[in-house]
Amino acid sequence: MNIRKLFHMFIAMVMGICLCSGCSISYSSKSSSDSSRSSSESSSGPSTSDETRKAYEGDVTTYTFAIGTGETSPEDFLRGLSSIAEQHGITDWESYKPTYIAIGRGLKKTGISRDQLQELPYLQTLLLGQEKRLGYIKEGF
């Protein structure tokens, strides 16, 4: 097993432990375009603050990076995203554009190419018939 795969397995395990225990791991490096996104594009409801959105996006980015190109099942990936959303009070995360932008950021960090995005097994269920979602992932990429 190569070092990269071991690293990703370790990160995924740490994220799993954190998700189960209720802690939050945030990625705080954001571009200026992220902070200028309008609230109509970045809100899952009137109660989602910018701070909550940023923390949520950071956790989704970190979670996706930890999984990388691994063999995570679509069901496990969706459960992980759902758990992160619940921790941040995000409702209807599947319709929440920042979810997909953050997934794109995490995937970019893994070093895979844009062309490989649709080939990742754990994304296929999430993207099924949802071209907009793939567009948002590519936007974050």
What's the pTM value of the predicted model, to 2 decimals? 0.69
* Residue 29 resides in a domain: no
Buried b (16+ CB within 10 A) or exposed e, 47-69: ebeeeebbbbbbbbbbbbbbbbb
Domain that holds residue 93: 3-19+59-140
> How many structural domains does the chain have?
1
In tens, the pLDDT along 40-55 reads 334 344 367 899 999 9
CA-closest candidate to residue 116, choices 126, 125, 104:
104
Give a yes or no: residue 76 inside a domain.
yes
25 found inside a domain:
no
In the prediction, which pLDDT does 31 show?
37
Does some domain include residue 69? yes
**What is the pLDDT at residue 134?**
94
Residue 91 lies in a domain: yes
Alpha helices in the chain (DSSP H): 3-21, 32-35, 39-42, 50-67, 74-88, 97-110, 121-127, 131-140
Residue 43 lies in a domain: no
- Asked if residue 114 is part of any domain, the answer here is yes
Q: According to the model, what pLDDT value does residue 38 have?
A: 36
Give the residue ranges of the chain where pLDDT is below 70: 1-47
Q: Hey, is 77 helix, strand or coil? A: helix
Reference 63, options 22, 19, 20; nearest CA is: 19
Task: Specify if 12 maps to a domain.
Answer: yes
